[in-house]
Amino acid sequence: MYKVLIVDDESFIRRGLEHCMDWGQHDCELVDTACDGLDALEKIQRLEPDIVISDINMDRMTGIELMERLNTGYPYIKCILLTGICEFNNIYSAIKYNVVDLILKPTSPSRIQQAISKAINEIQAEERNKGMREQIDLQNEQNQRLKHAMMLSNIVDGHTPAEEVVEALEHVGLYLHHYCVVTVLLWGISAKTSSAFYQLEKMVYSYADQLFEDVLYYCGFTNGHSIHFVIDYEDQPDDFIGLIRHLCIDLYKTIDNLTDYNSTIGISGCHQQAAELLYAAKESVKAANYALYDKEAIPVVLVKNMPPISNDTIVGIKQHVDALSDAIESADLSRANAVLENIKEYYAEQKLPIDEVRNISALVANLCIRNLWDHDLLDNGIFSTNHELYRGIMECTHLEDLYELSAKVVELTIRGLMEISNEPKNLIEHVENHIKKYYQSDLSLTKIADKYHISSSYLSRLFKSKKNISLSTYIQNVRVEKAKELIAATDLRTYEIAEQVGIADPVYFSKLFKKVTGMRVRDFRGADSV
């Protein structure tokens, strides 16, 4: 049996791990538990376990520090790390100290069993391969590829600062001086169906191993839609990119013929700086999304062959976005959906790059936020820059997902607006009554808007749309009508009438009165007395 030691500073986690599986069934014996790294070292010397399962964040001695000590003094012990946060430093240390597996908490018994099985397999492999150097070398090669894939994935996902990219790559033995990035985008597969993607990923890697057997390449996946290949072209022929394109066409045909999924492939430009890896990956993603537009051709696109966006296209985008903005402001969901379909067709017609589609989607999201803000609905949790849909748009690398996310944001916003669709009419009536009652007071747009807890810009637009007259003009008209009543019923002087209707400046009042009635105050008084 293989002896296992559990190390964690949380007693309930130690107990949970202790009872989460039938150790004997997996040919293991749980020999003890330890509360931190120092406690573990003492028990390791005495119990000599084969496998150590350790948390990372512990007092006195962390799991990373424990791994360092074991890597030096007990290299035969197989180590499994548990962590609550998947940080670059943890991945970096796990690679450095040859950790068998890095498990993100909370986890499941099956995940622990998987890691234990992996550790046992490594132990058995080492035992079997004492005289079989070739198999050990093969395992080392696979481990190295895994290290490469983990590191590349971390960089392509944007988790490694640009200034640390070169050092991080060199640490796992990657020295990129002449390379390009190939991205395979998979269509018709949900990121949530991880098991389906895992199987498809294995198949794509297998195809790539055969097709790229004469090319030095490294690979890593970013999400449930894309697989990246970083291909080194140093010491390759001048037509290397052409060769890669032909290999990618073969890869596309293989995926198309042997799986139920569709794919498009993008190829970045040639790069000579390792620090440009993330930029190169964005180029290949852009080209792979662009390839979707060429339905009649082989969907493999070089980023250098993508045409620039014309001014006419930009004008067309603005017209579509303006139409969508009107539909959102009108809370007309059916019209908004129709406009979104038109926009989607326009993207395909103009072959708009995904960067521009993402920018437009972000603009639409911000239009929705503005409308919710105008209606004082941002605090209702309907949608904001903190919403998962907003973050999804900003991080999205897949055209179909951007279409879906934008449609969800618009629908969410309009349904929120529709819930208060009966309020504008009542609101305008309240505002009118307030003005007629308090025409002698300060009736600034801001104060009225604050009274009804809405933005001044929204009140101004709403009043104009409902009454076909600006709010300020309406207030002026009410005051002039009240002034006419006072002129007819009293002998008050002009400045007194001005004060009575809420206008402190008699000169301004006289000008306003003449502008509205076409007569001076004294002329109106004389005409009224006739």
* 367-377 pLDDT tens trace: 888 888 877 67
Cβ proximity of 81 and 96 under 8 Å: no
Instruction: Report the C-alpha gap between 91 and 254 in whole angstroms.
Output: 33
- pLDDT score, position 197: 72
Burial 449-485 (b: 16+ CB within 10 A, else e): beeeebbbebbbebbeeeeeeebeebbbebbbebbbe
Residues listed for the chain: 530
Q: What is the pLDDT of residue 283?
A: 93
pLDDT at 163 over 90: no
Query: 46-104, pLDDT tens digit by residue?
Result: 999 999 999 988 888 888 889 888 888 888 899 998 888 777 777 787 788 888 888 88
pLDDT band at 33 (very low <50, low <70, confident <90, very high): very high
Integer Cα distance of 353 and 308 in angstroms: 9
Reported as a single tens digit per residue, the pLDDT across 494-529 is: 899 999 988 888 889 899 888 888 888 888 877 654
Mean pLDDT across the stretch 425-451? 84
Q: pLDDT value at position 134?
A: 65
Cα 375 to its chain centre, rounded Å, is 26
Instruction: Name the pLDDT band for 326 (thresholds 50, 70, 90).
Output: confident
Name the phi and psi angles at 28, rounded to 5.
Answer: -130, 155
Q: What pLDDT, on a 0 to 100 scale, did the predictor assign at position 143?
A: 81
Least confident of 149-158, 309-318, 360-369: 149-158
Q: Does the pLDDT value for residue 111 go beyond 50? A: yes
Share of the chain above pLDDT 90, in %: 19
> How many Cβ atoms sit within 10 Å of the Cβ of residue 428?
17
pLDDT digits (tens, 9 = 90+) for 441-478: 888 888 888 777 677 887 888 788 788 889 999 999 99
Instruction: Return the percentage of the chain with pLDDT > 70, whole number.
Output: 92
Residue 133: per-residue pLDDT:
63
Q: What is the DSSP letter of 271?
A: B
Residue partners of 71: CB distance under 8 A and separation at least 6: 97, 98
The token duo for 345 is 């067709």
**Average pLDDT estimate for 476-504:** 89
The pLDDT, as a whole number, for residue 129 is 65
Residues 165, 157: Cα–Cα separation, whole Å: 12
Tokens matching residue 161: 């600062």
For residue 463 the two structure tokens come to 């009043």
What pLDDT is attached to residue 191?
52
Read off the pLDDT band of 530 (50, 70, 90). very low
Query: What pLDDT shows up at residue 182?
Result: 93
pTM, to two decimals? 0.53
pLDDT at 265 over 80: yes
Beta bridge partners of 3: 29
Report residue 439: phi and psi, to 5°: -65, -20
**By mean pLDDT, which of 6-20, 287-301, 403-417 is the weakest?**
287-301
DSSP string, 296-314: TS-SEEEGGGPPPPPHHHH
Q: Give the per-residue pLDDT at 464.
A: 85
Helix (H) or strand (E) holding 14: helix 11-19
pLDDT over 60 at 422, yes or no: no
Paired with 305 in beta bridges are none
Q: Which amino acid, residue 430?
A: H
Residue 160 has pLDDT above 80, yes or no: yes
Query: Tokens 């390791």 appear where?
Result: 44
Handedness of CA 193, 194, 197, 198 (dihedral sign): negative
* Residue among 1, 25, 5, 26 nearest 14 (CA): 5
Averaged confidence pLDDT in the chain: 85
